[in-house]
Structure 1
Amino acid sequence: MAETQYTRQTVLARTEWVPGKLFSLRVTRPEGFEFVAGQFARLGLPQAGPGENGAPASPADPAQQPAPTVWRAYSMVSGAREPWLEFYSVVVPEGQFSPLLARLQEGDGLYVDRTAFGFLTLERFADGQDLWLIASGTGLSAYLSMFRDGEPLRRFQRVVLVHGVRSAQELAYRDQILAWQREAGTLDGQQRLVYLPIASRETLPGAPQSRITPLLADGRLEAAAGLALDPARSRIMLCGNPGLLADARALLKTRGFAPGRRGVPGNLAVENYW
């Protein structure tokens, strides 16, 4: 990747959600970097991590800044108009990139491609009445960006946010989501923003213990939301691991949900995200 295609940014803050496993980084935003909520950035690092040979040098020493050699895609958590970029990550111990990213601390450097990518945006949908945002793990990132821009609740009467995790400790950003839920208020006596945290390895208050796809298959997800999936009025986004996406997409196809094609807006949008 040519040098002109990326910029070196600085870590402003770090949040540890689950020590050694889940964390978020807030970094400076490159000048002129534009994106639509739901898109992702390509992040780069030298093969060696901070404190090792080849780590990003301080801004005061630009001549010694090593070039990035490993790149990965991460959805923005930050809103499109916020002055920083924020990313949410899981540590894959055997991975080439996430262990390096996990070592970054305030003041360390992180490279960001100048261009944003991706099509998991609300622009893909014609207006509907209900919006379902279904994520597993760090797939939640893209939806957080959308809420920070306020678009889901501007365009849809009701929004259902489903976050599948293994255990309650993995429910990152939960306090922020609950605050958005309170701010959204109610419509006809029902919450406009329905938040459904789903854990597969423990029981959460008011939620069944399960993976997401069985809940889709037997109707329990709709029952928990108090809202039916209707292809005429519902729009659905899926973001998460490939297994979830393949199973959920097959189930939803039988219900009349499909991505758009040839300029015709659909009622389903899907993006793999680990």
Structure 2
Amino acid sequence: MSKWVTGKIIKNKFWTNSLFSLIIKAPIKTFIAGQYAKLSLKINGERIQRAYSYVNPPSSNNLEFYFVIIPNGKLSSNLAKLQYGDRLQITYEANGSFILKEIPKCQNLWMLSTGTAIGPFLSILQDGNDLVRFKNIILLHAVRHQKDLVFLPLMNKLKQNLEGKLHIVTVVSREVCKNSLHGRIPSLIKNSELENTVGIQLSSKTCHVMLCGNPEMVKNTRELLENNYNMKKHFRGNQGNISNEQYW
């Protein structure tokens, strides 16, 4: 049974009308970059909880979680109303194996995300541990609109810090934007546009792909990689090329 502790809201930062980050102070056990916690509020007498990835690295004093307001969503709309000093419940211990320790040896690590699911990748990259073993890291963030690329400044800063190792790709699906690919991740892989943009070949011999986000994207991308690139899902006792995380 999960142990819960009380977290205090330090800041509620709205990026757009529907995207926001909560900065929280809470006495949690140190987590591993890439893991997630559960957050909980009591709403109309009912305790509602959901899993969310840490955006911050484990070394941060404060915790950051990234949200989208889901229309008619029980929890997200109420989290969006929280202000400085408000309280919520958070699990003391983090969970999840979407961490670099579980990634087998490879030259090129692909981090493919949609929407708010970029969180664990930002935590991993800000943490910086164990990145030296990869020749290239490709961080892809796919969103609906250009305004949703709220973490692009941080992504570019991480690219500078990693001095040529990190490659940034942004994808916008509902409008054509300069410096971003247009479409959906499976299609961009299938037509080789993603590989051509990065200049790195997707190969089962040299690559591992981490997928985080919309379940349809995860499912379709994994099937494409399995069928067209001879990749397979990675398990601790059965090494593969694909790892994925999804919460709904």
Q: Is TM-score (shorter-chain normalized) higher than 0.5?
A: yes
Matched position secondary structure for 1:140: helix
The answer as to whether partners of 1:124 and 1:265 remain within 8 angstroms in 2 is: no
2:11 corresponds to which of 10, 13, 16: 13
- Partner Cα distance (1:9, 1:261) in 2: 34
1:241 corresponds to which of 214, 217, 225: 214
Matched position secondary structure for 2:200: coil
How big is the shift at 1:76? 0.5
Residue equivalent to 2:132: 154
Query: Are 1:260 and 2:234 an aligned pair?
Result: yes
Kindly provide the amino acid, as one letter, of the partner of residue 221 in structure 1. L
Superposed counterparts of 1:85-124, under 5 Å? 85-124=63-102
Unpaired segments ≥5 residues, structure 1? 49-53, 55-67, 187-191
Kindly provide the amino acid, as one letter, of the partner of residue 18 in structure 1. T
- Partner Cα distance (1:207, 1:172) in 2: 14
Matched position secondary structure for 2:43: coil
- Which shifted more, 141-150 or 263-272? 263-272
Residue equivalent to 1:36: 32
The answer as to whether partners of 1:124 and 1:266 remain within 8 angstroms in 2 is: no
Percent sequence identity over matched residues?
33
- Partner Cα distance (1:273, 1:222) in 2: 28
CA 1:175–1:154: 2 relative to 1, 3 Å: same
User: Would you say how many aligned residue pairs link Structure 1 and Structure 2?
Assistant: 247
Query: Are 1:78 and 2:56 an aligned pair?
Result: yes
Deviations 1:145-196 (A, max 9, x none): 101101363231111111110011101211111111122223xxxxx21111
- Partner Cα distance (2:54, 2:235) in 1: 26
- Partner Cα distance (2:144, 2:77) in 1: 21
TM-score (norm: length of structure 2): 0.94
The answer as to whether partners of 2:51 and 2:247 remain within 8 angstroms in 1 is: no
Deviations 1:10-30 (A, max 9, x none): 0112221112x1000110131
2:196 corresponds to which of 211, 220, 223: 223
How big is the shift at 1:85? 1.2
CA 1:130–1:69: 2 relative to 1, 3 Å: same
Superposed counterparts of 1:126-205, under 5 Å? 126-151=104-129, 153-186=131-164, 192-205=165-178
The answer as to whether partners of 1:258 and 1:266 remain within 8 angstroms in 2 is: yes
The answer as to whether partners of 1:131 and 1:152 remain within 8 angstroms in 2 is: no
- Partner Cα distance (1:153, 1:125) in 2: 11
The answer as to whether partners of 1:207 and 1:224 remain within 8 angstroms in 2 is: no
**RMSD over equivalenced CA pairs, Å:** 1.7
Residue equivalent to 1:25: 22
- Partner Cα distance (2:220, 2:158) in 1: 29
Unpaired segments ≥5 residues, structure 2? none
Matched position secondary structure for 1:182: helix
How big is the shift at 1:262? 5.6
- Partner Cα distance (1:150, 1:16) in 2: 27
- Partner Cα distance (1:39, 1:202) in 2: 32
TM-score (norm: length of structure 1): 0.85
Pick the structure with greater CA Rg: 1
Query: Are 1:272 and 2:210 an aligned pair?
Result: no
